[in-house]
Amino acid sequence: MEFFKNTNIDFLGKKWYFLAFSLVFSVAGVLSIMFWHHIPLGVEFNGGTQVDVKFASTPDLDSIRKDLDRAGLHDPRLQPYGLAANHEVLITLSQKETSEAALDQGEKQIIQALNTNAPQDKRDLNNSNRDTIADALVQRDGNCRPAGRRPASEAGNIGGPVFAGRNVGVPMVPL
């Protein structure tokens, strides 16, 4: 069975037509990206604050957006990422001010907005220093110190490694 009888087509003789056709559509695509559709730029090029937040349970993006809106942080970009079991959300704020103080202020505002609904008995180890962790251990240990209880200096000795471990990515148990 023969589908095509004369298959002698001169493709190389028509190469300039094909090249012109390809060039026209390539230039049209580049112009379309540059003037109409724009390449979405991240925080690295636009400026702003990007905070990675890990939650204990599945985060509700609408609730997070409402908390941020109440704190005066309008139009944040919320992006769940990683495995669903990790409960992580990337929060990005677009800010025109790119000074270090303004970017740190944006991070603090995000943390404060999310802490408004946090349980009072939980401590955020990611935003705690050595002394805060040591104070929490002493407070958790109770005010009475019968034999066998650790003194405040030992709590400080424990708070230091917890603080150091947080900086190298060692998983921590909430206090």
Domain coordinates in residue numbering, the chain: 43-115, 125-142+150-167
Query: What is the average per-residue pLDDT within 142-171?
Result: 53
- 19-28, 111-120, 131-140, 156-165: range with highest mean pLDDT: 19-28
Q: Binning pLDDT at 50, 70 and 90, where does residue 170 land?
A: very low
Give the residue among 131, 127, 103, 133 at the shortest CA–CA distance from 115: 127
pLDDT tens sequence across 82-103: 888 888 898 888 776 667 777 6
Q: What is this structure's pTM?
A: 0.52
Q: Binning pLDDT at 50, 70 and 90, where does residue 43 land?
A: low
* Per-residue burial over 2-23, b = 16 or more CB atoms within 10 Å of its CB, e = otherwise: eeeeeeeeeeeeeeeeeeeeee
Q: What are phi and psi of 147, to 5 degrees?
A: -55, 140
Per-residue model confidence (pLDDT) at position 71: 86
**What would the two tokens of residue 1 be?**
């069975």
pLDDT tens sequence across 114-124: 877 666 666 66
How many angstroms separate the CA atoms of 50 and 76, rounded?
A: 10
How many angstroms separate the CA atoms of 171 and 154, rounded?
A: 21
Tell me which amino acid residue 120 is.
Q
Q: What are phi and psi of 47, to 5 degrees?
A: 90, 155
CATH fold of 43-115 reads Alpha-Beta Plaits (3.30.70)
Tell me which amino acid residue 112 is.
Q
pLDDT tens sequence across 113-153: 887 766 666 666 666 777 777 777 777 665 534 444 455 55
Residues in the chain: 175
Helices 61-70 and 100-115: crossing angle in degrees, nearest 10, is: 120
Q: Which of 35-49, 103-117, 160-174 has the lowest mean pLDDT?
A: 160-174
Tell me which amino acid residue 157 is.
N
Q: Is 88 exposed, middle or buried (0-12, 13-18, 19+ CB in 10 A)?
A: middle
CA 120 to chain centre: 24
